[in-house]
Amino acid sequence: MTPLARYLPILDWGRSYTGAQMSSDLIAAVIVTIMLIPQSLAYALLAGLPPEAGIYASIVPILLYAVFGTSRVLAVGPVAVVSLMTAVAVGQVAEQGTMGYALAALSLALLSGVMLLAMGLLRLGFLANFLSHPVIAGFITASGVLIAASQLKHILGVPAQGHTLLEMAASLAAHAAETSLLTLAIGAGAVAFLFWVRKGLKPLLLRLGLPPGLADFAVKAGPVGAVVATTVLVQAYGLHTQGVAIVGAVPQSLPPLTLPSFSLELLNTLLVPALLISVIGFVESVSVAQTLAARKRQRIDPDQELIGLGAANLGAAFTGGFPVTGGFARSVVNYDAGAETPAAGAFTAAGLAIAALFLTPLVYFLPKATLAATIIVAVLSLVDFSILKRTWVYSKADFLAVAATLLMTLGLGVEAGVSAGVIMSLLLHLYKTSRPHVAEVGRVPGTEHFRNIRRHKVETSPGLLSLRIDESLYFVNARFLENLVLDRLARDKDLRNVVLMCSAVNEIDYSALENLEAINQRLKEQGIGLHLSEVKGPVMDRLQKTHFLEELNGRVYLSQFHAWQELSGAA
């Protein structure tokens, strides 16, 4: 790959683009476009923006990702979690429905794009690893609940507010008497229909003799069916004059050129939300991209993905959109529909541009309750409370991270939830690594293998203590190892040699080195030898740059078995 193709992957796959690939990409684009039209409108509603913003955010960003992204099937655009985070962040600085609100959303996309682009150029994709899977699972589950709850006001037709579950519940209860029965009937009916489409439509169509491919297409087009049916219903009976809120006029135009605000005060206020949106969006996107790429034995470049997503968000900022990322549902649909290259995304953008130019008048009478139903059905598939049970059984520490993230997100909002999750993950990691597992090992009889004396029947030698350290040594846990060795020496006055088995030690930092020197000095004063075994090459390279090996009151053995052979006889 040429240096230019490294940053412009389109130059790589574009050179070998074939007619067969174009045919597959076009078919996939048609299917994804049909799915994206109602979804884009719905996610704009979730973000608190005019419906056309959802379509605008799905055109230029997709085109830019096709140029800079490395995934062949990732579909970029508005997604539920990022749309909710946008509403929360922008709602703190401007009132929904005002020009300032839309301007703040553009500025949020700008900040997110700049951050992602900078992280990509600096090759900082590894930073996403600070969000553990349990934290992400807890956050997405809680966000799914929050998103579904936030849409109940559209289902009921009431002006409820709130960013946390308690606030939403209190507001919905306060406005319950204002519920529009017509709106409720439309919204509840759409939710029931969409759930049935997901579970029951395909088996029915297959029983009726429809080919599986067409049955799948009908399921994916289910939201469009709900949109068409409820729009016709409202228009035919004039339900919009009886309290049913509708989308109303949507401009017939391509995405306009827009300019975000460069106010330092506004950008400073949006800085932390933009960082959280960037990291969450990247983690969600790269997880989907890696999963789908693995199915075709392809690979993606996480750092280049940052650049692709950064370009997409910058595109959204200057074309009337809001923050975007790779969406799970649409990417899976794109994959299942046979997309071969990112050109499928470009064709999808063209389809959405046609819809923006010619089809927007058709959604004038579309009930907002239908869009809310679309969001609710989509996000409830993200809710997975079983992660609590699984982590409780497997790891109490991971359970704490999941539970804290989930409760903080529901109780204090998405920003507090994900921040708590990250902090909890780091604290738990530091706690666990501060008390590394250190096993006293003995030889499995008749072999050269050494195992934990508490788990296996092994041979030990009087006067010889062999400790296997199952963690890298650094400033957090260095003192723990020193205390453990000295406590063990205090209990056994007959010890003559101590061997630290370092097969699992990938690094020894300077603080840990000083503690090893202290251990060595204490043992030397007591006439006890300190030895190392199975030290990895990179660790040995760093030790050789110090005086530690010269002052070591013992030897460094290639294997634990060699140490055992020599020291058990001398012990």
Average pLDDT, the chain: 88
- At 157, is the secondary structure helix, strand, or coil? coil
Q: What angle is formed at CA 283 by the lines to CA 281 and CA 289, rounded to 5 degrees?
A: 100
Q: What is the pLDDT of residue 571?
A: 40
Q: What is the pLDDT of residue 213?
A: 77
24 phi, psi to nearest 5 deg: -65, -40
Q: What is the pLDDT of residue 257?
A: 93
d(CA 125, CA 113): 14
For 300-311, what is each residue's pLDDT tens digit? 888 899 999 999
- Average pLDDT, stretch 220-244? 89
Give the H/E segment covering residue 533: strand 529-533
- Average pLDDT, stretch 335-348? 86
pLDDT at 104 over 90: yes
Q: What is the pLDDT of residue 5?
A: 63
Residue 18, Ramachandran bin (φ over 0: left; ψ between -120 and 50: alpha; else beta)? beta
d(CA 473, CA 513): 8
d(CA 177, CA 101): 29
Bridge partners (DSSP) listed for residue 201: none
Burial of 380 (0-12, 13-18, 19+ CB in 10 A): middle
Report whether 311 contacts 324 (CB < 8 A): no
Which residues, 6+ apart, have CB-to-CB distance to 480 below 8 Å? 434, 435, 436
d(CA 292, CA 74): 8
d(CA 323, CA 273): 11
pLDDT at 130 over 70: no
